[in-house]
Amino acid sequence: MNLFDFIAGHYDYWFIIILLAIGLYGMTVKKNLVKKLIGMTIFQAAVILFYISSAIKADATVPIIMENLSVDNPANYINPLPHALMLTAIVVGVATVGVAFTLLILIYKNYKTLDENELLELMK
Amino acid sequence: MIEKNLPAIIPLLFLFASLIIPLLGVWKKNLAYPIAALTALTSAILSLYGFVFVILTGPINYYFGGWIPPVGIEYVYDHLSSFVVLVINFVALFVIAYSYQPVEKELPGKQTAYYSVVMLLLTGFNGMIITGDLFNLYVFIEISSLASYALIGVGDKKAPFAAFKYLIIGTIGASFYLLGIGYLYFMSGTLNMNDLYNILPHMNDSPTIIVALILIVVGLGIKMAIFPMHGWLPDSYTHAPSSSSALIAPIGTKVGAYAMIRLLYFVFGLNYFSQELAVSDLIAIFSSAGIIFGSILAIAQKEMKRMLAYSSVAQIGYIGLGIGLANPFGFIGAVLHLLNHAFMKATLFMVAGSIITKEGHSDIFKFDDTYRKKYPWTMAAFTVAALSMVGLPPLAGFFSKWYLALGTIENSSWLFLAVILISSLLNAVYFFRILEKVYMKSPDASEVKEEVKRNEIQFSMLMPILVLAIGLIVLGILNFIIVEHIYKMMPEGMFSL
């Protein structure tokens, strides 16, 4: 397998790595707290995409029993478990974002700003 | 019948209470505290019963919905998890009993919501300890984390920002953990811890497993606040309401440490993370750096809660060091310190909370010898806990340090031994500073002073503090029984290495 095939064959993983990097960048470098939160959401979405894309099998279909496809051969159906796990992870992510926005509203009420530098200045 | 279902009953009891408190809160506001205290008492009794049951008849495995693992989700109630559940639930019981007055004073009118979230927090912690499934562990990590963000965020004016920082860092940690178990799942096809323990030795040399191990160690390390991933801890504990920090500080990081022990010793296996990879050495080195760093920064603090928070960073380092030593003495030291530090930190944070409730501040430089006359019993409990932190025999804190020191000697790692000894001295510096102010008369204070009246904190706050302080003496004297029991918790083949 040459290098081009390696890169092209794993294109979904490269995409996920880029998303992970964007998420981490947003969380650590951005000074606005809402942008930090957006970075966190991107990071979580990348992990979710990682599970989903790893569950794919070539020439397989959705895991619902079909009459013309044998159930004995698991290669006919893609793996449904990662999807089920990620439904839970999405719910967790929604809850996290909800709590985060509540905290942001509280911060804004207390200090009238969401910029990290200004907040640190005000807290001295 | 009840013992077969015990592993599921304890987390579900807390979950049920967290739902019932807001429902009944609509009808009567002052029901929240009694229900929370009653739930904590019930689960403490249940976990004591389960602990004795496990000692007498052996581990309990509970299968959700009757599905046999690795297909179904398994809850494991073995020697290690029953012990940690017992510790967590007893400390939580005392802190909840204590919290009535502080919550009424700091969060008036919000008792219903507060106790509902506290119950959710304990659901998460108990679930994290009992579960035998990797993804289930992730869900419980997030339940407990979300609850603790809320409990920290309701503190003083700076608390929401501290909680937001914790939320961002905590979510990174949980996502790393999720990524790590993803790697494990796609390599092995299972999420059950026992099943993985049997499968992993066959794929030890795969780089995927190494990456998974590193991601999981980093993820849980953030939850456990190992140096240098402790950044969220000091601010969160300082600005949280005193009842929240008294609840989260002794329990929260300990549960993270337990998850680390469970994953490293009972999923990856001792041989893998200590012999084939040097991960255990890395954990030990970072932990010892954290011990020194936390102790020095604790000396530099002026505020008592912040000092205790930095001291927590140092004390977590002891547990991390015990995990990283990867020998029987290190394991005993880590598990024993998990118990001892939960008791010590709960006592210290409750004393700090009491002083804030009474005096309105906890500035160390404003402490003077009138405190001894005003709060004789509180200060006595503080002294016991502080001496135990320093490590004076026969108090509990001495014995965990003793076993950790034995572990470093067995590994011939003299640097770590030096770290333990030096940090004991540093502990002495920052605790004796307060003891000196409280028990010695300041030389430049005016001779004639008005008579100070005794002004002890309310009985409902004093009682839990005193019980935990006496518990420290009892744990110290009875430690040989506990240590004998810890031998049963060790993974198989620990001594043969």
pLDDT (tens digit per residue) in B49-70:
999 999 988 888 889 888 888 8
Query: Which pLDDT value is given to residue A106?
Result: 92
Chain-chain contact of A92 with B142 (C-beta, under 8 angstroms):
yes
Contact between residue B351 and residue B385 where contact means Cβ atoms under 8 Å apart: yes
pLDDT (tens digit per residue) in B246-258:
999 889 889 999 9
Indicate whether B487 pLDDT > 90: no
Indicate whether B325 pLDDT > 70: yes
* Closest chain A CA to residue B148: A99
Highest mean pLDDT among A57-71, B115-129, B409-423: B115-129
Mean pLDDT taken over chain B: 88
Question: DSSP state, A113?
Answer: -
- B161 in contact with A, Cβ within 8 Å: yes
* Closest chain A CA to residue B174: A44
The domains of chain A are located at 3-123
A-contacting residues in B 438-477 (Cβ below 8 Å)? none
pLDDT (tens digit per residue) in B258-298:
999 999 999 888 888 877 778 888 899 999 999 999 999 99
Give the gap in angstroms from C-alpha A40 to the nearest C-alpha of chain B.
7
Give the one of B139, B150, B175 whose C-beta lies nearest to A88's C-beta: B139
Per-residue exposure over B241-274, b if at least 16 CB sit within 10 Å of its own CB, e if not: bbbbbbbbbbbbbbbbbbbbbbbbbbbbbbebbb
Indicate whether B426 pLDDT > 80: yes
- A89 in contact with B, Cβ within 8 Å: yes
Give the one of A43, A96, A107 whose C-beta lies nearest to B161's C-beta: A107
Q: Which listed CATH number (1.10.645.10, 1.10.287.3510, 3.20.20.70, 1.10.260.40) goes with A3-123?
A: 1.10.287.3510
Give the one of B150, B160, B182 whose C-beta lies nearest to A50's C-beta: B182
Indicate whether B29 pLDDT > 80: no
Query: Which pLDDT value is given to residue B26?
Result: 82
Give the gap in angstroms from C-alpha B157 to the nearest C-alpha of chain A.
7
Q: How far is CA A71 from CA A56, A61, A78, B335, in A?
A: 17, 12, 12, 48
- A97 in contact with B, Cβ within 8 Å: no
Task: Report ipTM (2 d.p.).
Answer: 0.93
In angstroms, the CA B191 to CA A51 distance is 14
- A100 in contact with B, Cβ within 8 Å: yes
Show residues of chain B in contact with A24, CB under 8 Å: 172
Chain-chain contact of B157 with A110 (C-beta, under 8 angstroms):
yes
Rg of the Cα trace of chain A? 21
Q: How far is CA B115 from CA B17, B75, B456, in A?
A: 9, 26, 26
In angstroms, the CA B392 to CA B28 distance is 48
* Closest chain A CA to residue B163: A103
In angstroms, the CA A79 to CA A55 distance is 5
pLDDT (tens digit per residue) in B178-189:
999 999 998 888
User: Higher-confidence residue: B339 or B394?
Assistant: B339
pTM here?
A: 0.93
The encoded tokens of residue B489 equal: 């918790």
Chain-chain contact of A123 with B168 (C-beta, under 8 angstroms):
no
Q: Cis bond leading into B376, ω under 30°?
A: no
Query: Which pLDDT value is given to residue B444?
Result: 64
User: Higher-confidence residue: B396 or B371?
Assistant: B396
SS3 A82: helix
Number of C-beta neighbours around residue B376 at 10 A: 12
Low-confidence ranges of chain A (pLDDT < 70): 1
Indicate whether B443 pLDDT > 70: no
Show residues of chain A in contact with B163, CB under 8 Å: 103
Give the one of B146, B158, B182 whose C-beta lies nearest to A96's C-beta: B146
Query: Which pLDDT value is given to residue B183?
Result: 92
In angstroms, the CA B352 to CA A107 distance is 26
Give the gap in angstroms from C-alpha B474 to the nearest C-alpha of chain A.
41
Indicate whether B446 pLDDT > 70: no
Query: Which pLDDT value is given to residue B124?
Result: 94
Chain-chain contact of A89 with B138 (C-beta, under 8 angstroms):
yes
Chain-chain contact of A96 with B171 (C-beta, under 8 angstroms):
yes
Per-residue exposure over B439-449, b if at least 16 CB sit within 10 Å of its own CB, e if not: eeeeeeeeeee
Query: Which pLDDT value is given to residue A74?
Result: 77
pLDDT (tens digit per residue) in B193-248:
988 988 888 887 788 888 999 999 999 999 888 888 888 888 889 889 988 999 99
- B370 in contact with A, Cβ within 8 Å: no
Identify which of B295, B454, B270, B266 has the alpha carbon closest to the alpha carbon of residue B373.
B454
- B488 in contact with A, Cβ within 8 Å: no
Chain-chain contact of A99 with B150 (C-beta, under 8 angstroms):
yes
- A26 in contact with B, Cβ within 8 Å: no
Identify which of A100, A69, A68 has the alpha carbon closest to the alpha carbon of residue B149.
A100
- B185 in contact with A, Cβ within 8 Å: yes
Indicate whether B497 pLDDT > 60: no
Write down the residue that tokens 């659901």 correspond to: B123
